[in-house]
Chains A and B, each alone.
Chain A
Amino acid sequence: MKLYNKKKKIHKPLFIKVIFSIFLLLSVGLSSSAFAQRNNPLEFDPRAPQAGGLIFRAQCATCHGADARGISTIDAPDLTLIWTRSETTDSSVFDIIQQGVSGSIMPPHGFPDTEIWMLVSYLRSVAVGGSVEAFEGNSNRGQQLFTENCSQCHRAQGFGGSLGPSLNSITSRRTQSSLKNSVRAPSSAISRRFKPIEIVTSAGESVTGILKGEDAFSIQIMDSYQQLRAFEKNGITNVRRDLPSLMPVFDQASLSDSELDDILSFLNLSR
């Protein structure tokens, strides 16, 4: 150990450092795949997403699903959502495909660089689309409407409840029309992590909430008062799962189209 410390104090002559630096610079310049932040050379090639899709289906779909939306039982993530994270770049996705994810079953892949870029292009093409249309509403009015109608259960811009999904940056993942549909008909598509459930305990208590977890012996829920509660199954007399969404239906009478536009404009502030 002591020897090692001594060694560390020895300084390399300056000219060796300079030569080494030049060599490094050269190798970065010559090798397109090393070190630096890179752009996808196939970014504007319309054939790339299709070619990448073929590779994806052959090499990636067994874990990530044929639609790239992941398989939860093996912790394979939904790849259509990766672009909603601000730190995701073509280059970082390239690196993950090439190097794998340490500590997980995502292996490194020895594909040629071109094929990895094709995969990046494919993943770009299946990215969950945010809203691209202009937002017509008034975000100030929207904030007030959000506070009155939504914030009891949803969080946005740093305030609100937790019974429903957080709406922070939701417009970067969902189109305006799909968001409007979720407001007008909340039960038409309920996210997996927000399935409603009703439990009747052997003490006669009826509890409605969102299913958060379940095993053979217990159920974990967030009840409609947003309290986390867990129940032993042997203390439950009845469970109902075929319930509509806990979110109320907002029709034209309770929320007009223009008011809905105002709320979406407010939500778009956190994009």
Chain B
Amino acid sequence: MESVDLIYKTIYILVIFGITLLIATYSTYAERKVAAFIQDRIGPNRAGPFGLLQPLADAGKMFFKEEFIPAKSNKALFILGPGVAMLIACMSSAVIPFGDMLIIGGREVYLQAIEVNIGLLYVFGVVSLGVYGVMIGGWASNNKFSLLGAIRAASQNISYELAMGLSIIAILMMTGSLSLREIAAQQAGFNWNIWYQPLGFIIFLVCAFAETNRTPFDLPECEAELVGGYHTEYSSMKLGLFLFAEYINIFVASAVMATLYFGAYNFPFMHELGALISDDPVIANNVITILGVVVMFAKIFFFIFFFMWVRWTLPRFRFDQLMKLGWQILIPLAILNIILTGGGILLKDHFFN
């Protein structure tokens, strides 16, 4: 790899990392504002204009709280838990294509941190590791409620990973590639996967809610039954890291949904618009790419809003209902979706070739 490429990649990775953290920070603010809007309240409005400095105030408060480690807990693992949660949450945005390529001085610059030909499997692998932070933290707390929360998180994640994987397989059958860049490129214009995979998208969406431990599937931190769930014993910024990791997971889940089903950086009439703007292909390409990044983030923000909307609208499931939904409804539906997709592909080959 050339040194220019290396420097560019380093900068890009740092920028994506910063954006991830920034979005996660302001998700907490957005969550309160959305909750306030839905419940007909005003929400945070004291720190700064419109309460915009509220996340900073929260972080300051978190840092100055007492660091509390329970006696008889496993100290090393107790500290490791939130760290693992945060590390794994930050890993998956590396393969997501936030934009197509820019052409700067004749050099093609892709707006994606690393391109691997198994990008989707990478995301899936990282998501499947996400439960370790919760499990380690919950177990190391030496508290029955924390342990129950951790065990709920484990069983919930394993159950919903299956349905999630099966719903992704239908996408793979259509695109024939595991690379997220390739999947994004195939949805050029308005040719989004959602038109072909509505059932798969609904399954994926439900599973994403369960994987990120969001309402209506936030059983691991169900305060009515488990005090505080897996983070009962946590205080200060260690608790903050757990909560922060959840918001990063929401951001990543939204980005993956936008990439897989909603055309990533593609928007309708993008090529026509490019031809309209300029005759110079380089300028046209760059303008379209930058617009594409804006569109991508608009899609991501919509899904983050959707996560919050659902949280403040739907009540929580019961645990046996959650398991029943995962194993008896979503997995058969996902298998049906695979069969339908396979049949559709065969029919298309038969009639339109």
A binds B: no
| B interface with A by C-beta (< 8 Å) | none
| A interface with B by C-beta (< 8 Å) | none
